[in-house]
Chain A
Amino acid sequence: MNTSRHRFAFFTALFLAPVFSVTVLADTVQLPELPSFTDDDFLSGIPVVLTATRLAQPLSEAPAAMTVIDREMINASGARDVAHLFRLVPGFMVSQDNGHMPIVAYHGLTSEYVNRLQVLVDGRSVYSPLFGGADWSNLPLVLDDIERIEVIRGPNAASYGSNSFLSVINIITRHASETTGQFFRATRGSNGIKNGVYRFGDSTQNADYRLTLASHGDSGLVTRADDHRIHNLRGRADMQLSERDTLLLQTGISKGMREIDSMSLNAVEDRKILMQFEQVRWQHQIGANDALSVQFFHTLEDTDEVFDVTIQPPLGRIIRNASNRAERFDLEVQHTLQLSPQARLVWGGGLRQDSAQGPQIFNTNPATMQTGNNRKFYNKVFRSFANIETRLRTDLTLNTGAMLEKSTLAATALSPRIGANYFITPQQSVRLIYSQATRTPSLNEARSNYRIPVEGPPSFITTVWVGNPQLKVEKITSYELGYHANLNRQRTVLDIKAYHEHLRDLITVEGNSVSDPSDLLDRKHFVYDNLTDADITGLEIALDIRPTRHTRFVLSHSSNKIKSTNPNISSAKLAQSSPKHITSLLAIARLPGGFNSSISYYSVSKSNGLGSGDGVKRYKTANLRLAYPFTWGSARGEISWVYENLGGDYKNWRQDNTMTAQHYVSIFLYLD
């Protein structure tokens, strides 16, 4: 380099700079504004987004056996409704009371009204205030909006409150920012299968929102009169109020018709349903280790179902009005606090008001024979809860929690839980869990008085069932030994759960009749009571393997043994209320030519459900799905074909429920 020339230039410039600076600067090249990306983006900090309070506990440290149904599984399962996804979860029996009433049961001992599972959609309990359990078909929920489903297999009252009795299902829908653009889906198949979805989502500066409009329906089972058609409208907005505050607003409504074929009345009628909800959740990040969440929601369920039939003389005209209306208001405050790098506390409280009414279900005036009683019955619940998650050592995590609940319908109950997870290696852990939970009687079980007038002569009242104000809460004590392995860098996840459940005071109506000579139809009626005790021992295995990038096998198996007593039901029947063995397999593979294929297999040993359940033989069934993803201009899409019930007809839950092969084609288009 010519240093002397440089020095001269520098020297000259030094003295001439003040004179020529304007010229020199004008001589420099004007550069465009660079994107906001400088060395500062690498060197200076970004605010902490995933604070310790936001992070979810890994499955290996959770104080419960947990199954996650992700979007890949949802798509591959070929399921047309949420309920059928639970076939993929160990221990879950998915049956049908008819074509539009799925039964999702865990560990048996249930009628078609399964009320020992808590079901949440985005943290909002959809457990029915009137009958308990979730009315799966009515939920304003669209499969395409679901992000994932977490199923906690085991009592979890300490975290989710009462009725989180045998299991908790937590359905999580997609954040509104992830569903912007337009989405269309059309499904058409045999047996009247006709579904449609339209979704529109958009973003503004600080908010994302979407609206989903959907309709689903089919002709039900070939052996039943059970058509249904339900329309859904659902909206969600996720707003960023400030750096620390977010607000979730959701609302949804479902409205439609479900055909009911009454065996006792030998008639068919339409049940008109309406379900709606509104939900607000405010989340505030107080500090790096401290977060607050306040949630309020309201749900309304309205059913309109009247059978007006003339039964053979001498009985006359009977008007069975099963219409009902139930409502829930719920407020919950939750505070998450990272006490130290090793300890996290989640605590809070909630208030809930459930109410229900029905002209005949709550008919309290048998003397006047009048229907149209619109008195509301209430259950007010106060709950407080706390759970501390402590990492005692890098290989030992302890979860200690409890829920205290006070309600109108039952005595104050405390549900404690303690769980320890010990890591044998960083990839393998064993867990030991002791937990207790309670289930509060539903308004139906505690307050109903289902009386139907029969117009004679002679006129009289027939009573279907009677609730029992003296009911106690159902109690469960559960002991679980689990093993969780996350091998081969998450390509193989194995979870084994061995458990013993000690159930006391289960509320049962079946067989518990009281003589009623004034009821000329039946001469008796049924009363709810805490009549069933049970001990269930079992084993559940879940295995998720991804041998290659495009193949996946999700296997589940469960076996159980029920020892149960009830003065009116034989122990043998109670033991058979859950199939002894259930196996499911979902196999996903990519085929040449860009096709995706999956097959879901489900094998259920013989069972005999309570309530409407009959003894049904072991069945094996499978669904096959073939899909072809494509792009069309700027749109992405997929066309898929699903063949349901490969392997022939079988009986499901009831002898008159014959499941037959059917198939459908579905196409979706997604425009950003």
Chain B
Amino acid sequence: MPLRQNTAHIDTGKFPWIFFVALFCLIFFNPASQADSFRITLISSGKTDIYQQLVKGIMETVHAQVSQPVDFNTILMKGKPPQVDLKPQIHAADLVVTIGQQATHTTLSTKPKAPVLATLIPEYSYETLLETLKKRSPQHINSSAIFITPPPSAYILLAKILLGEKQRIGILASEASIGDAKKIKKIAQTLGIGLWLETANPSDNLIQKLTQTLDNSDALLALPDPFIFNRKTAKNILLTTYRHRAPVIAFSASYVKAGAMAAVHSSPALIARQTGETIAGIIQSSDKTLPAPMHAKYILVSINENVARSLGVTYSSIGQVQQELHRQMRSAP
């Protein structure tokens, strides 16, 4: 199956003319470039190994699942807004796939004509972006997304598996995660798990709110919420919860390394797989429409063994916890 990869590295500020020439040549003179090939512009927010791995993974999955020719035009950004115009490449594609927040931000702000599939993006970032775009320019945006995070039910189910259903779970949520928090609260009710939901505004004293949450709960679910859990606040939150001897169930492996007891999350390779499969589905569908936004489907569990041991939380093995989580998610309410 013909699968071609055109990769352009865009340097901020300097846009080499050679790039246009090369691109022009590839598009018009490459013998494999046929009119019926499906053109995908892949725009990545970064060029680090993680993003490159994702790009590679997406292409490999598409390659394995689609028989018709697919052209990939890959653009690796440097993680900040490019000073060049990506519009031509965006408009020339049948599908634009953006990896990460910055690429999605840049792409959607060009009012793309092609459908856009955003991947590896936090749900809140994606939704805020769409909302802003719709307010400014009410035209229809043809986009969808594969979020970096698992569905909200995964957090509460992991908490249930590790801590049991009799623990009282606390959530501290700002407007960014209140939607997920409410969904989790409903699921918790169905599962018979006690859940304390404390809301916070960005102007609130975070530790004070966290203390209130921990006074009413035995463990904390840290949901993806930029106002509450970010690199600035991580340290104080982890120290405070540990002082309360409350386990933290978080949303990324980094938090587990830093001191959260456990997390349920995806990985670049798994997001790549899901993105590749989704792209294949779009190509193979008759109307080439985008599916609805979705959460990470393939998920992993990380556990900080030392923290778990110190908090007296026992479990069989990470593998078994993960299996159990997958099983329960399939039958989740």
Pick out which of these stretches binds chain A: B56-64, B178-186, B231-239, B324-332.
B231-239
B35 adjacent to A177 (CB under 8 Å): no
**Candidates A4, A17, A34; contact of B85 at CB < 8 Å:** A17
- From B288, which residue of chain A is reached at the shortest CB distance? A1
A571 beta carbon closer than 8 Å to chain B: no
Interface residues of B in 186-214 (CB under 8 A from A): 194, 204-205, 207-209, 211-212
A46 adjacent to B94 (CB under 8 Å): no
A478 beta carbon closer than 8 Å to chain B: no
- From B202, which residue of chain A is reached at the shortest CB distance? A35
**Candidates B24, B132, B207; contact of A203 at CB < 8 Å:** B207
B88 adjacent to A17 (CB under 8 Å): yes
Complex CA–CA separation, A636 to B23 (angstroms):
64
**Candidates A175, A486, A548; contact of B240 at CB < 8 Å:** A175
A28 adjacent to B204 (CB under 8 Å): no
Complex CA–CA separation, A489 to B121 (angstroms):
35
Pick out which of these stretches binds chain B: A19-27, A110-118, A251-259.
A19-27
Interface residues of A in 179-202 (CB under 8 A from B): 179-181
Interface residues of A in 534-568 (CB under 8 A from B): 546, 548-550
B258 adjacent to A489 (CB under 8 Å): no
Complex CA–CA separation, A631 to B227 (angstroms):
25
A49 beta carbon closer than 8 Å to chain B: yes
B132 adjacent to A44 (CB under 8 Å): no
Q: Which residues from A are CB-within-8-Å of B234? A: 46, 49
**Candidates A25, A38, A48; contact of B259 at CB < 8 Å:** A48
Q: Which of B95, B238, B265, B309 has the most CB of A within 10 A?
A: B309
B205 adjacent to A180 (CB under 8 Å): yes
A672 adjacent to B208 (CB under 8 Å): yes
- From A39, which residue of chain B is reached at the shortest CB distance? B100
A9 adjacent to B310 (CB under 8 Å): no
A7 adjacent to B137 (CB under 8 Å): no
Q: Which residues from B are CB-within-8-Å of A177? A: 207-208, 236, 240
B238 adjacent to A10 (CB under 8 Å): no
With A24-B85, A178-B207 in contact, do A34 and B128 touch (Cβ < 8 Å)?
yes
A32 beta carbon closer than 8 Å to chain B: yes
With A32-B132, A177-B207 in contact, do A491 and B166 touch (Cβ < 8 Å)?
yes
A49 adjacent to B207 (CB under 8 Å): no
Task: Give 1 or 0 for each of A49-74: 1 = CB within 8 Å of chain B CB.
Answer: 11010111111110000000001000
B311 beta carbon closer than 8 Å to chain A: yes
A55 adjacent to B306 (CB under 8 Å): yes
- From A486, which residue of chain B is reached at the shortest CB distance? B312
A29 beta carbon closer than 8 Å to chain B: yes
Task: Give 1 or 0 for each of B142-156: 1 = CB within 8 Å of chain A CB.
Answer: 000000110000000
Q: Which residues from B are CB-within-8-Å of A43? A: 50, 252, 254, 268
Complex CA–CA separation, A56 to B255 (angstroms):
19
- From B88, which residue of chain A is reached at the shortest CB distance? A13
Could you tell me how many residues of chain A have their Cβ less than 8 Å away from some Cβ of chain B? 70
Complex CA–CA separation, A90 to B183 (angstroms):
43
A632 beta carbon closer than 8 Å to chain B: no
Interface residues of B in 311-328 (CB under 8 A from A): 311-314
B167 beta carbon closer than 8 Å to chain A: yes
B39 adjacent to A57 (CB under 8 Å): no
Q: Which residues from B are CB-within-8-Å of A35? A: 176, 226-227, 230
A488 beta carbon closer than 8 Å to chain B: yes
- From B94, which residue of chain A is reached at the shortest CB distance? A1
Complex CA–CA separation, A202 to B231 (angstroms):
22
A490 beta carbon closer than 8 Å to chain B: yes
A29 adjacent to B88 (CB under 8 Å): no
Q: Which residues from A are CB-within-8-Å of B23? A: 14
Complex CA–CA separation, A35 to B24 (angstroms):
38
B47 beta carbon closer than 8 Å to chain A: no
Task: Give 1 or 0 for each of B3-18: 1 = CB within 8 Å of chain A CB.
Answer: 0000000000000000
Complex CA–CA separation, A261 to B152 (angstroms):
65
Q: How large is the interface on B (under 10, 10 to 19, 20 to 34, 35 or more residues)?
A: 35 or more
With A6-B92, A34-B128, A42-B251 in contact, do A489 and B164 touch (Cβ < 8 Å)?
yes
Q: Which residues from A are CB-within-8-Å of B163? A: 489-490
Q: Which residues from B are CB-within-8-Å of A50? A: 238-239, 242, 258-259, 304, 306-307
A24 adjacent to B87 (CB under 8 Å): yes
Interface residues of B in 127-142 (CB under 8 A from A): 128-129, 132-133, 136-137
B39 adjacent to A3 (CB under 8 Å): yes
B114 adjacent to A1 (CB under 8 Å): yes
- From A36, which residue of chain B is reached at the shortest CB distance? B230
A36 adjacent to B208 (CB under 8 Å): no
B120 adjacent to A29 (CB under 8 Å): no
B32 beta carbon closer than 8 Å to chain A: no
B100 adjacent to A14 (CB under 8 Å): no
Q: Which residues from A are CB-within-8-Å of B307? A: 50, 55
With A50-B259, A486-B312 in contact, do A181 and B132 touch (Cβ < 8 Å)?
no
B277 to chain A, nearest CB (A): 20
B314 adjacent to A486 (CB under 8 Å): yes
B91 beta carbon closer than 8 Å to chain A: yes
B39 to chain A, nearest CB (A): 7
**Candidates A60, A203, A426, A491; contact of B164 at CB < 8 Å:** A491
- From A425, which residue of chain B is reached at the shortest CB distance? B314
**Candidates A9, A34, A52, A549; contact of B92 at CB < 8 Å:** A9
B312 adjacent to A42 (CB under 8 Å): no
Complex CA–CA separation, A399 to B133 (angstroms):
61
Q: Which residues from B are CB-within-8-Å of A491? A: 164, 166
B297 beta carbon closer than 8 Å to chain A: no
**Candidates B87, B239, B265; contact of A13 at CB < 8 Å:** B87
B284 to chain A, nearest CB (A): 14
- From B227, which residue of chain A is reached at the shortest CB distance? A35
B23 to chain A, nearest CB (A): 7
**Candidates A12, A29, A61, A175; contact of B136 at CB < 8 Å:** A29
- From B266, which residue of chain A is reached at the shortest CB distance? A42
B257 adjacent to A27 (CB under 8 Å): no
B92 adjacent to A175 (CB under 8 Å): no
Complex CA–CA separation, A59 to B312 (angstroms):
8
With A14-B20, A14-B24, A49-B258 in contact, do A25 and B85 touch (Cβ < 8 Å)?
yes
B168 beta carbon closer than 8 Å to chain A: yes
A486 to chain B, nearest CB (A): 5
A45 beta carbon closer than 8 Å to chain B: yes
B205 adjacent to A55 (CB under 8 Å): no
B105 beta carbon closer than 8 Å to chain A: yes
B74 beta carbon closer than 8 Å to chain A: no
Top 3 nearest A-B pairs by Cβ distance? A10-B92, A37-B226, A50-B259
What are 6 contact pairs spanning A and B, CB under 8 A?
A3-B94, A27-B111, A37-B125, A38-B125, A39-B120, A42-B148
Known: A29-B133, A31-B132, A39-B120. 10 other contacts (CB 8 A): A3-B94, A6-B91, A28-B109, A38-B101, A38-B102, A39-B100, A39-B122, A50-B306, A55-B310, A177-B236
